[in-house]
A and B are shown apart, each in its own frame.
Chain A
Amino acid sequence: MLSVTERGLYCESGDFYVDPWLPVENAVITHAHGDHARWGCRSYLGSRDGERVLRTRLGFDASIRSADYGETLTINGVRVSLHPAGHILGSAQVRIEHGGEVWVVSGDYKTEPDPTCTPFEPVRCHTFVTESTFGLPIYRWAPQADVFAEISHWWSANRDASRASVLFAYALGKAQRVLSGVMNADIGPIFTHGAVERLNRDYRDSGVALAKTTYASSAPRDQNWAGALIIAPPSATGSPWLRRFGAISTAFASGWMRIRGARRRRSLDRGFALSDHVDWPALLQAISATGAESVWVTHGYREPVVRWLMDHGVNARAIASRWEGEMETEPIAPDESAYE
């Protein structure tokens, strides 16, 4: 049904690609992150929920067609539908059915609840193409309420020490999840980097409730930053943009922060292991819930996951991906640098 080509995963019967990494005619997009939604395709199909953020990422002239979750489209005789992946707003698993065979491409996903997007739904299939970003048993997430409580505690300790709290979070998805998570924690004032604020607007316009934020660059010159929470993309780490905030404590909200060395390498004060990907137990659980006879593993710790699955009687193989290993920063669109 699908084959791995130099442009990405290709469905020959339907003549479309899923998350191609080079420009193609027809692209089906799981979600708007830069390593899944690339520029230059002639037409895109994505979820209705994700339309705004996808347009922000791809530009206003991109040809984007939207489908509701669960709505079935027929592309050259192949039945295609999108199902919630719980990763970020509008993220989808792509279900592809042809000649009685069903494949599902997960894109990135998590099974934990997240108020900023529709919860993950398991989809039965014959072959499941799964991500494996955190596919090692060292990755197990603490309950998110605990993580938000830690963030809140870190912020209040900084406020008491008259410091600003700078929290690095991917501009699309993680930043909004944090803003939703701390909404009732009485944290503030909250300021944002331009790359984050632009996407906050898309989330709010899509009906997602977020804590009140102010675009940092619109603050008056004499703004007192002590006690503020500032949300910025990881690419702002160590940049001159941070100088205006005076005394700061820095932190990164990312699944990579589960490992002490990953935090220390970046010289961060704190790391909060908050991820929009499945951890090891959730990954295995999700794979099992699909009932798939065959599993393709991409994006991350492919080999260990494949070996584990094979050892447990699941037919699995690793497939190539353009995006490997620890992503230092989320790939962001070049025009986003213009926000600051």
Chain B
Amino acid sequence: MGGGDGNRAHRARRIGVRVRLFAQLFADLDETTKTGAKVAAMVRYFAAADPADAAWAVYFLRGDRPKRLIPVRRLAAWAMQESSTPPWLFEECYNSVGDLAETISLLLPESQQSAGRPLHDWMENVVLPLAGEHESNQRSAIVGAWRELGGTERFVWNKLITGGFRVGVSQSLVVRALSQASGIPEAVMAHRLSGAWEPQPGAFANLMSQETSDAVVSRPYPFFLAHALEGGPETLGDPVNWQAEWKWDGIRAQLIRRRGQTFLWSRGEESVAERFPELEEASALLPDGSVIDGEILPWRDGRPLSFAHLQRRIGRKTLGKILTEVPVVLVAYDLLENGGADIRGQPLASRRALLERLLTAVRTGGRILLSPLVEVSDWEVVRAAHGQSREMGAEGLMLKLLDSPYGVGRRRGPWWKWKVNPFTIDAVMVYAQAGHGRRASLHTDYTFAVWKDAELVPFAKAYSGLTDAEIRSLDNWIRRNTLEKFGPVRAVRAEQVFELGFEGIQLSPRHKSGLAVRFPRILRWRTDKKPEEADKLETLHALMESA
């Protein structure tokens, strides 16, 4: 009998250690701004944690969170009752702390007990079932946990149930830590960690598995991204080493065909297959074990439609008519997996050859197109092509080293994006509004107008592009030249002219000017220009037609 009690006590201690481990991981991550120390803390955790708990830790570290299970208002009410704090005093405390989960854990009486449950048990048997529960059951579960947990554990618990769990580690740090803990290379780990994550012990075991021919069929590879090229390509050395193609303005995506199934992932690691059923259909004949990196583009008559068309499709819950109004294609840039083999380590030139062979052999109904190459015999030719980007419906050019492997994340050197200069126009500021955060007391948001006969018609808002000194000086001018106030918005004298840049332009019945511009920003404050020298609405229409 004594032995039985001893075993139970031993088990309780061991389990207690497990849940404290996660709270300790949180504290360790929270206590340092040094990435090395954060990685070391995660490595320690993964080495010691039960896979069932570690699976949940990965879930939270990736930034996944359960949907908010209980309204915070209820949590606050229960905390007030538990701590005998009147609402006004709770409010004072909250204002002083600035974080609800922390306020609650600071106000509750100290717990005399130590937690007896591992993290996965808390999540699966306490937290997740709360969602459908009656309020009184929710209350007893939450209050019970508060009484059971102490210190950091209670704070972490509150963070879990309020869904506000942020630990300040990027996905790449989590990948690095898992890689160090398992000995699996970072690229493989990044691949394993992308896509949806099920917080199950088996998933964690797969993550750490030394068997590297990964079985998870839906997983995309991490995207390889390019840096912006400023100026021109002449600094890149011999053009013979480079591949050039158009930079399209669509949705960067990975099309995966494995085990007779198609998966389509956007760069934000969202599954978008159901939004583009024609691509799923088009990939039906691709051999298993093919992964294509490309761009989803609205496409008609051999050229892309504007991004606004694609936005219409993204916004739609049911597709129907839009399928014919805005047809899409996948323009294929790269091949990452061929015949089931990860070929990212091969040079771009070989991957491109395999991609060409694949798309020649397979019928896709014209839905999967090979990204056309641009001639790179010398940089002058490339420059000339760059100048034609707009006519092609592209944003500029991509320049990629022919011997570059397909890397992870954004790295300087092997891949560059060379965007075309934006459209520019001179416009008059007509309204100003105060900004947020650091600039809350300054007018930083401006509305601009162009001339339509003798009238100024607003067509764009811009927030960025001026220096802090210019903003202060302009703010001063705005305060002295306000004609009228509408809440936070001030109508100002039409005197200041600005050169604006934007990426695209299209008709918009919602705007008074009848036009909408994409990514407007301030290029220069034209103190040398008078308002009557600003551009006319006809100029904008002409720009749109030329594009």
A interface with B by C-beta (< 8 Å)? 136-138, 140, 258-261, 264, 267, 269-270, 301, 304, 307-308, 311
B301 in the interface, Cβ–Cβ < 8 Å? no
Establish whether residues A136 and B86, one from each chain, have CB atoms under 8 Å apart when the complex forms. Answer: no
Cα separation A252 to B332 with both chains bound (whole Å): 55
Establish whether residues A261 and B99, one from each chain, have CB atoms under 8 Å apart when the complex forms. Answer: yes
Cα separation A307 to B91 with both chains bound (whole Å): 13
Listed A/B pairs (27) with beta-carbon separation below 8 Å? A136-B89, A136-B93, A136-B96, A137-B83, A137-B89, A138-B96, A138-B97, A138-B103, A138-B107, A140-B110, A258-B106, A259-B97, A259-B102, A260-B30, A260-B99, A260-B155, A261-B98, A261-B99, A264-B30, A269-B32, A269-B33, A270-B31, A304-B89, A304-B92, A307-B88, A307-B89, A308-B89
B85 in the interface, Cβ–Cβ < 8 Å? yes
Chain B residues positioned under 8 Å from A136 (CB to CB): 89, 92-93, 96
Cα separation A264 to B92 with both chains bound (whole Å): 21
CB-nearest residue of chain B to A308: B89
Residue from A137, A140, A270 with most neighbouring chain B CB atoms (10 Å)? A137
Chain A residues positioned under 8 Å from B83 (CB to CB): 137
Cα separation A261 to B85 with both chains bound (whole Å): 22
B interface with A by C-beta (< 8 Å)? 30-33, 83, 85-86, 88-89, 92-93, 96-99, 102-103, 106-107, 110, 155
Cα separation A307 to B86 with both chains bound (whole Å): 11
CB-nearest residue of chain B to A138: B106
Chain A residues positioned under 8 Å from B32 (CB to CB): 269
Establish whether residues A301 and B92, one from each chain, have CB atoms under 8 Å apart when the complex forms. Answer: yes
Cα separation A133 to B430 with both chains bound (whole Å): 49
Chain A residues positioned under 8 Å from B110 (CB to CB): 140
Q: Which of A138, A260, A269, A311 contacts B86 (CB 8 A)?
A: A311
Establish whether residues B33 and A267, one from each chain, have CB atoms under 8 Å apart when the complex forms. Answer: yes
- Shortest C-beta distance, B112 to chain A (Å), equals 13
Q: Which of B31, B33, B92, B97 contacts A261 (CB 8 A)?
A: B97
Establish whether residues B89 and A260, one from each chain, have CB atoms under 8 Å apart when the complex forms. Answer: no
Establish whether residues B31 and A138, one from each chain, have CB atoms under 8 Å apart when the complex forms. Answer: no
CB-nearest residue of chain B to A260: B102
Cα separation A261 to B103 with both chains bound (whole Å): 11
CB-nearest residue of chain B to A304: B92
Cα separation A34 to B134 with both chains bound (whole Å): 56
Cα separation A136 to B107 with both chains bound (whole Å): 9
Cα separation A83 to B30 with both chains bound (whole Å): 42
Chain A residues positioned under 8 Å from B85 (CB to CB): 137
Establish whether residues B30 and A138, one from each chain, have CB atoms under 8 Å apart when the complex forms. Answer: no
Cα separation A161 to B110 with both chains bound (whole Å): 33
Given contacts A137-B89, A301-B92, 17 further A-B contacts (CB under 8 A): A136-B89, A136-B92, A136-B93, A136-B96, A137-B93, A137-B107, A138-B93, A138-B96, A138-B97, A138-B106, A138-B107, A259-B97, A260-B99, A260-B155, A261-B98, A269-B32, A307-B88
- Shortest C-beta distance, A126 to chain B (Å), equals 27
- Shortest C-beta distance, A274 to chain B (Å), equals 16
CB-nearest residue of chain A to B103: A138
Chain A residues positioned under 8 Å from B33 (CB to CB): 267, 269
Cα separation A304 to B30 with both chains bound (whole Å): 30
Chain A residues positioned under 8 Å from B102 (CB to CB): 259-261
Chain B residues positioned under 8 Å from A311 (CB to CB): 86
6 pairs of A and B residues whose beta carbons are closest in the complex: A138-B106, A304-B92, A138-B93, A136-B93, A261-B98, A259-B97
Q: Which of A137, A269, A308 contacts B31 (CB 8 A)?
A: A269
Cα separation A138 to B108 with both chains bound (whole Å): 9
CB-nearest residue of chain B to A271: B31
CB-nearest residue of chain B to A264: B30
Cα separation A155 to B46 with both chains bound (whole Å): 25
Establish whether residues B30 and A259, one from each chain, have CB atoms under 8 Å apart when the complex forms. Answer: no
CB-nearest residue of chain B to A154: B31
Chain A residues positioned under 8 Å from B93 (CB to CB): 136-138
Cα separation A307 to B85 with both chains bound (whole Å): 13
Chain A residues positioned under 8 Å from B107 (CB to CB): 137-138
Chain B residues positioned under 8 Å from A307 (CB to CB): 88-89
- Shortest C-beta distance, B7 to chain A (Å), equals 30
Chain B residues positioned under 8 Å from A308 (CB to CB): 89
- Shortest C-beta distance, A310 to chain B (Å), equals 12
Chain B residues positioned under 8 Å from A137 (CB to CB): 83, 85, 89, 93, 107
Cα separation A308 to B88 with both chains bound (whole Å): 10
- Shortest C-beta distance, A10 to chain B (Å), equals 30
Cα separation A137 to B86 with both chains bound (whole Å): 11
Residue from A259, A264, A267 with most neighbouring chain B CB atoms (10 Å)? A259
Chain B residues positioned under 8 Å from A259 (CB to CB): 96-97, 102, 106
CB-nearest residue of chain A to B83: A137
Chain B residues positioned under 8 Å from A267 (CB to CB): 33
CB-nearest residue of chain A to B40: A161
Cα separation A19 to B377 with both chains bound (whole Å): 83
Chain A residues positioned under 8 Å from B88 (CB to CB): 307
- Shortest C-beta distance, A252 to chain B (Å), equals 12
Residue from B32, B88, B93, B99 with most neighbouring chain A CB atoms (10 Å)? B93
Cα separation A258 to B110 with both chains bound (whole Å): 14
Residue from A138, A264, A270 with most neighbouring chain B CB atoms (10 Å)? A138
